Each structure stands twice: as structure tokens, then as C-alpha cells.
Structure 1
Amino acid sequence: MTRRILLLVVAPIVALAAVAVTWMMATDRTYAGRVLPGVRIEGALVSGLGASQLAARIQALAGPALARPVTLKAVAHEVTLTASALGVTPDVARTSAAALAVGRTGSLLDRLRDRAVMLRIPTDVRIVYQYDAVVARDAIARFVSLLVVEPQDAAVTVTRGRLTVVSPSQDGVVVDIPLSTVRLIAALVHWQPEVRLAFELRRPAFITEMADQMAEPVAQFTTTFAYNPDRVHNIRLAASALRGLLLPPGALLSYNQVVGPRLPERGYRKAPVLINNELVPGDGGGVCQVSSTLFNAALLADMAVESRTNHSRPVPYLAAGRDATVEYGSIDLRLRNTTGRPLFLWTEVSSRSLTVSIFGAPQPGREVAIIVTDQIVIPAPSHTVVKRDAEIPAGESKIEPARSGLRSRTVRVVRQEGRVVRQEVVAANYYQPTPRTIKMGTGEPPRKASNRNSMP
């Protein structure tokens, strides 16, 4: 009796299990290589689809997501691109594998249970996306190329002795592309509609606010000269290289570097230059007056003097101890802006004078004076020197008188509200004494003009 009851209980269970197994095996055969019934991808039924059909279906279902707009922002600039354009693509292989695996994993009982549930409640599979960092980075780089990335100094000019702003300064934008790419990928993963790129603003060295505070020159110096067309031309050329030069705090001004070689191919002409105590024709004659005028303006602007050399003898346009000679490649005038504020240089040349103006933030109550002290006159040699000179016609001579030499020191005195706050030696000067010199001509005598076809 008990045995019969057991059979009556077990038999239906075994039969039911057999039916279930048979059904599962039948569906395995029917849906081999295809998605089982009751499977959806992003809410759309994909039951019975094979690999190629499933791949096409995944691509179609991913379309709306790939078309989602994503806005890149940096400073006041922005650009909107689609997720697809930013490197987002559906991972067809992984998504297909996930859909095909539904109801096919786990133990026999797990699979039976899952398939039974799927008949009543379909299982939804989400599309897996992949993100191409190279495409994202390139999209950011293209966007960044549209930005103004270099800081722009304020453009200024000088009108009637006052500095005025022509165009305002503009901050530069530097985008951290690697970090921005990481941010963008994270935003894409979470389907965020916008992402702010990682950037920093870089202020220019010369901002509009600084220029507005520099309307008046803090130092100005003028020298004069006799009119000589070639020499004036050289002065204009050298002075133009200095005009508009901005010196940020700590900047070094090298005269030779700014002005460059004084060569004919760069526009310089021959004019008198002082070489070895003698005035001789040379390329760029007159540029030393520019360097000397700059030297004095820089002293008054309280700039530091790192290198300066006086001429071999005093020059006519400045007191001894106030000049600064230069020779490209060997003798330079180097000045450093140690004022802690930007300085702006401006030059003006007329037919008879040169002015160097230095603009900077005003310092009320500050006065700078330049004095030459400790002057020691060195007597001229008593002997006479005879030289041959091919520039003088044969049979003629030229006598240059003896010249005394001089030693001195150039001192800068800085006062604040009338009180001396600093006194410093900025230059030591030595002008070599020269003996009486007789130059004997060895050159060709001047040709006499022919009277042939002469006009009365």
C-alpha cells in the first residue's frame, strides 16, 4: 500500500520533470544559435534572432543613444557633438553574447527556472557600449584649436607723450587634454549631457589694468646731435627696435640682442664711429648715441645695470660718465628690470634729437638723480705720435691735439619724499689719455674736375 502511494506521488513528478527536460531540449534544438523566447534588448523583443540579425538589431537599437548630444564647455566657449562623434559605439559582441546567454547558464534547474520565468516576464538586456579614448581626445583637440589659447598683451601706443591702450589684453586658455579626455569618458559612461573641460587661464604679462596705470613716463632722457643724414638714419633704425618693447619684472634687456647686427643688409649706413680714440667711417655710426640715451633713461627708471662700457673718450652729446658704447658681438649694454613692475619703452627721433621714454606705474614722492663723482684728470702724454693715414691724400697731414684722460664714478641717488633711501655706484669710468698725433697722408690726391663740357 505504501509503495503504491509512493509511486502515485513520484510518478507525476518524474513525468513532469521528463516533460520539462524534453521541452528544454526541444527549445535548445529549435533555438540553437538563436536568442531564446522571452528575451529583450532595451525593451525590444529579440527572440529567435541569429547572430547577424541580432548584430543588426543591436546597431539599430543603439542609434538614439549614439545620437544624443553632448556639449563640451571651456571658459565661454562650447561645442555640441553626438555621442557617436565622441567615440561611443555599441559593443555588439558583448551585447549579443549577453542576449544569447539568457536562459543558458547555471545548473539544469537554474535553466529550467529561468526559462519558465521568461515565458511570463521577459528578461531585458542592456546594450553594452565601448568608448574610444583616441576619438574623444581628438574631438577635444579640435575644439581646443578653435579657442584663443595664447595670452595676448594689451596693445599700446604713445600719443603726445601719453601711453594709451589700442586693444585690451586677453587671457589665454590652456586645456589639459588628457584630464579632459578622462572627464569626457566618465560623462559619456553616465550619459551626462555636458562636460566641462579641464583648463586654466593664463594672464598675459602686460594686462590692460597695468597699461592704464602707466599713462605717464617714469623716466625720460633726451640727447641732441648735429644733422648728418646717414647718422640720423642709423639712429632712427636702432631706436625703432626699442620702440614698444615691454619689460616684465625681472626681464633682461640686451641692447645688442634687441637691435641686432649693424650691417648694410639690415639697412645701416656708414657714419662716423669712435674706434681707438679716433672717429672713422663705420657701419651703424650713431647707434651708440641710442645706447647712451637708453642708459640714462634706464638709470632714471631705477633699472639695474648688468653690463655697460664707456667710450674710449668722452662724447659730445653727453657729460663724461653718462655714455654707453656698444659693439655687436663684443660690447653690450645689459639692463634688468628690477623695479617689480612692468616697464614699457618708447623712442622718438627728430632731425636733431633722440628721446627715450620709459613708462611704468608711478611711485609718488620718488626721485632719482644721476651724478658723476670722484673725477680724476689724467694728464695727456707729452710725446707726439706720427701715423700714416690712407684716408688723407699724399702730401697732406692732419694734427690731432693731445687729450687728457679721466677716471670717475657714476652714482645713482634715490630719494623718497626728499630722504635718501639708496645711493649706489652704477658705473666706473675710464677715458684713456692720448698724445698729440700727426697723421701723414698716403692716399691718392683728389682728382681735379675736368672743364670739358662744363657749364658756365
Structure 2
Amino acid sequence: MKKGVLILLFVTVIVLAIVLGSGTYIYKNILNIDTIYKGVRIDGYDVSNKTMKQALEYIKEKKEAEIQKKSMNLIYNENIYKIRLRQLGFSYKYDEAVNIAFQIGREGNFIKRLRDIAKIKSGVEIPLEFFYESTKSEEVAKNISQEINKEAVDAVLNFNNGKITVTDETVGKRVLTDKLIAKIDENIYELKDIEIPVEDIQPRVKKSLLSRINGVIGEFSTSFKGSSSGRIQNIKLSSKAISNKLILPGEEFSYNNTTGPRSAQSGYKEANVIIGGELTPGLGGGVCQTSTTMYNSLLLADLTILERHPHSIPASYVPYGQDAAVSYGYLDLKFRNDFDFPIYTYAKVVGDRVNIYIYGDTKTKNYNVKITPEIIETIPPKTEKIYDAKLSPGTTIDIQKGRTGYKVKTYKSIIKNGKVVSRTQITVDHYRKKDYIYKVGPALPASTIIEEEKDIIER
């Protein structure tokens, strides 16, 4: 073999050896290492030349220490609530960031990888994504709300023997939790101070409103003299039920809902009630006298009557056309307060009279009301005789007592400064007549009639 060929062969071998050696070195020490390439940073922290485990431990140590120190202030007036990120379940996606850091320079063929590795040395920043538990911010908002929230308290009217005093109302507070949660969520990264959103809850009833009740705007009384003990008890019980009631502007009042069912369990006694035009013993007899007394006080106070019913026969304790029958679940007395001030009801029984007062603003209701019923038709009863042959001749037996019927129109007049400014018809009532019914026997013989007449003459 010639000397030149040997030299060329030797050089070729040497070059191959160098190339193979370099390739092995590159593969072993660059392409096949288990550490993150130089120049890679996670959220500002250098993780070069670290294994995934080392990088994970390192970045966790750094960031967890930061989390421990980070917090935000939620402020309401003088109160400051320091909320640490840890309370919100705040943390970072460490594994995800470390995996991304490790994969840099490990994609593509070896030439691409070598190029990427060379570029990495100038620096690559991996963002560290965070997360938190939204339920935690909800819990924080809920706990703060429990401390700050305050119920609004209505002003209270105190009534003592006609003297009226009013306590102040209290404005309530309510944290707007949805807005607070949104503010917390938006502030996770910036950690600025947050003003807790709180709204005032105005009480339904304010002192300024109740203070308008300054006197009686309507009152009426009726006598129950001669009533049975049970009837008197029922009047007292129903009067107590409707007393001391506050009715705000626009509110409605139901007599039946206020007094409740007329039952023995509620304390009502048996007394005469009107059923089908007849007085019949029943529980609650007398409550209609209370409702009637209230009805007239309401009329004089000029309140809006929504429901009222007359009795089938006239009541003895008020003029015709001014009664108000009630029957639980059937007939009710209802009214609405259409004034711009509240009214207050007060009832008391003194001696043999029931008195009902309506309190309100005498400066606004500064006029008088007069109720005038007019009988526009009197309906006399008829007489019916039923013949009964079994009766003794000349016998007459009362079967049904008669009663006159009436048609009544009732008017309301508004009187101001002594002058009638308006007069309106408010009701038309019909009180049914009741015919006389007699059962009669056969007529007496003519001789008997003559003898009776003779005896009368002689006497």
C-alpha cells in the first residue's frame, strides 16, 4: 500500500473518531441530560441545571413563602379585615410550569434542539399561573357580611292612655356580597385595599311618619246595656283584638283576619246571632256590635271602606243603615288607609259601652264627617192565616211574629269650617220584612157570637 493512501486512511479514521466522540459527548452531555437547560426562569426564578424535582422544590419554596406574606385589606369605616391569599386557597400551577421549563430544547431533531438550546442561554421566562378557590372568597364575603349586616328596625309608636310617643328607627346595613366577591376576585393579583360595598336598608316605618299621628280623627261608641254575659264577653274580646293596630298608608285591614275564628278555644261564648233574619244562639254573638262600632268610627275618620254588609234585620244599637255584619269566612269588614299618614286603632269597653277611636293626623284630616241615613221605603208585613180544622172553634195561634221592612239610603257629608262641602251616598240597604202568620180554627157558631156580644153589653 502506498504511503499516501495510508496517511489518508489514518486521517479519515482520526476525523471519524473525533466526530463520533463529539457526537457522543453532545448526546450524553447536552441532548440527553435530565436537567433544565441554562437560561430558563420560572416567574423570575432561575431553574437552570436543575432536575424537575429540584426545580419543583425550589420554586415551591420561593413562591409559597411569598404567598404566606401576601394579603389584601377589606375596609369598612374603621374596620379593616386582613385577608391572606392562603385563606382564599391561592396557589400556583407548579408542576405545569416545571414541565414546560423541562421541555424547552427537547423538541425536534438534534440540529433543531442544538439551535434552541443555544438560544435558551439568552433567557426564557416561563409564567407561573395561579389559581384560587372561588368558594373561599364566598366564605370570606359571607363571614364579613355576618359581622356588618344589621337589620333595619322600625320606629315604634307607644300608646298609653291616649298619650302617644314614638321611638327612633334604626337604619339597617347590608353587604353587597356579589359585588364584594367580584372585587376580591379582581384584586387577587394586585392586592390593593378594597372598600367593602355596603348599602343602607331603610326601615319600613320611620319616626317622621309615625309622628304624624297626633290625635283622634274618628270615634264612635255603642251601648250593650242589657246584653247577656256571653255577649258582653264577646264584645270585650273582639274589641281587644282590633285595638292598638297600626295601618300604614296604602295598607288594608280585615276585621275577620284580625279577630280570628269565633271559637270556644279563642274564648268566645255563646250568645244570640242573626241567622236568616232570626236571633239564634251561637258562638261569637256580639262581635257584630264591635264591627258596627268600628265601621262608624271609620266612616267618621273618612277612611276607604272596601267591604261592609248590613244585617238582615236592623240592629238596635245604631240607626238603620249604619250597621256592619260580620261572619268569619263569609262576611267581613275591610278598609284601606288612603291617607298619606298612618292610622292607629284603639278600642276600650267602659261600663256598658264599647268605644272605638281612630287616631291620625288631625292637621290633614281637619274636617268633620256626618253620617245621615234616610228611610226611603217602609215595607209593611202581610198577614197570613192558616186554617186548621183540628183547632177548637174561634182559636187563633201565633206561628210567626211579623216585622216591618225598610229600604235605607245612607249619606256621608264632609263639613269644613261649619259648611257642608260635599254630600255623597255611600250605601243602600234592604232590611227584609217578615209576615205575620197565624193558625186559626173553625169559626164560632152564630148563636155563640150573639151570646158573647150580649154578655159584653151587659157588662
TM-score, with normalisation over the residues of structure 1?
A: 0.72
Q: Secondary structure at the match of 1:332?
A: coil
Q: Which amino acid aligns with 1:135?
A: K
Offset at 1:308?
0.7
- Other-structure match for 2:336: 336
Give the C-alpha shift of residue 151 in structure 1. Answer: 4.0
Structure 2 distance, partners of 1:243, 1:338, is: 20
Counterpart mapping for 1:90-169 below 5 A? 90-97=92-99, 99-100=101-102, 109=115, 111-115=117-121, 117-118=122-123, 127-146=128-147, 148=149, 151-166=152-167, 168-169=168-169
Deviation at 1:215, TM superposition (A): 3.6
Deviates most, 340-349 or 321-330: 340-349
- How big is the shift at 1:377? 4.5
Distance 1:128 1:363 in 2: 70
Structure 2: distance between partners of 1:349 and 1:201: 44
Bigger shift: residues 405-414 or 415-424: 415-424
Residue 231 in 1 paired to residue 231 in 2? yes
Equivalent in the alignment of 1:448: none
Residue in structure 2 matched with residue 212 of structure 1 by the alignment: 211
Matches of 2:178 and 2:385, distance apart in 1: 75
- 2:315 counterpart SS class: coil
Q: Which residue does the alignment assign to 2:426?
A: 426
**SS in structure 2 at match of 1:266:** coil
CA RMSD of aligned residues (A): 4.0
- Structure 1 residues 365 and 183 mapped into 2: Cα distance closer, same or farther (>3 Å)? same
| Cα separation, partners in 2 of 1:75 and 1:45, compared to 1, 3 Å | same
Measure the CA separation in 2 of the matches of 1:424 and 1:88: 75
Asked which structure has the greater CA Rg, the reply is 2
Match of 2:296 in 1: 296
Q: Distance in 2 between matches of 1:81 and 1:421?
A: 69
Pair 1:187–1:239, CA change in 2 (3 A): farther
Q: How does 1:17-416 map to 2 (within 5 A)?
A: 26=29, 29-30=32-33, 32=34, 34-37=35-38, 45-60=46-61, 61-65=63-67, 68-72=70-74, 79-97=81-99, 99-100=101-102, 109=115, 111-115=117-121, 117-118=122-123, 127-146=128-147, 148=149, 151-166=152-167, 168-173=168-173, 176-197=176-197, 200-226=199-225, 228-350=228-350, 352-364=352-364, 366-383=366-383, 402-415=402-415
- Structure 2 unaligned residues grouped into runs of 5+: 1-21, 387-396, 440-459
Distance 1:24 1:424 in 2: 111
Query: CA 1:261/1:129 → structure 2, altered by over 3 Å: closer, same or farther?
Result: same
Instruction: Give the total of aligned pairs.
Output: 403
Q: Distance in 1 between matches of 2:426 and 2:213?
A: 26
The alignment partner of 2:222 has SS state of strand
More moved, 40-49 vs 248-257: 40-49
Amino acid at match of 2:163: R
Task: State how far apart, in whole Å, the 2-side matches of 1:417 and 1:63 are.
Answer: 85
Q: CA deviation at 1:318?
A: 2.1
Cα distance in 2, alignment partners of residues 435 and 69 from structure 1: 93
- Is the CA contact (8 Å cut-off) linking 1:158 and 1:346 kept in structure 2? no
**Alpha-carbon shift at residue 225 of structure 1 (Å):** 2.3
What SS does the corresponding residue of 2:346 show, helix, strand or coil? strand
Deviations 1:359-417 (A, max 9, x none): 3344346213132243225243142799xxxxxxxxxx999864333222232333555
User: Contact conserved, 1:325 with 1:331, CA < 8 A, in 2?
Assistant: yes
Task: Give the aligned residue type for 1:327.
Answer: S
Give 1:345 deviation, angstroms. 3.0
Q: Quick one: structure 1 residues 418 and 271, their matched pair in 2 at CA, closer, same or farther if it must change by over 3 Å? A: same
Compare 60-69 and 273-282 and name the one that shifted more.
60-69
Separation in structure 1 between the aligned mates of residue 189 and residue 241 of structure 2, nearest angstrom? 56
- Structure 2: distance between partners of 1:435 and 1:247: 45
CA distance in 1, matches of 2:175, 2:329: 41
Deviation at 1:159, TM superposition (A): 1.0
Shift of 1:331: 1.0
Show the counterpart of 1:15.
Answer: none
8 Å contact from structure 2 (residues 141, 181) kept in 1 = yes
Deviations 1:275-334 (A, max 9, x none): 233332211122212222222222233221121101122223322222211111211112
For the residues of structure 2 that align with 1:48 and 1:438, how far apart are their CA atoms? 125
Q: Deviations for 1:43-82, whole angstroms, at most 9, x for unmatched residues?
A: 6554455445544555542354356444556799875443
Structure 1 distance, partners of 2:429, 2:286, is 21
The answer (yes or no) to whether the contact 2:73–2:192 under 8 Å persists in 1 is no
Percent identical residues: 25
Distance 1:374 1:281 in 2: 31
1:436 Cα deviation (Å)?
5.0
Whether the 8 Å CA contact 1:309–1:324 is kept in 2: the answer is: yes
Residues 1:376 and 1:143: Cα distance change in structure 2 (over 3 Å):
same
Q: SS of the counterpart of 1:310?
A: coil
SS of 1:294's partner is helix
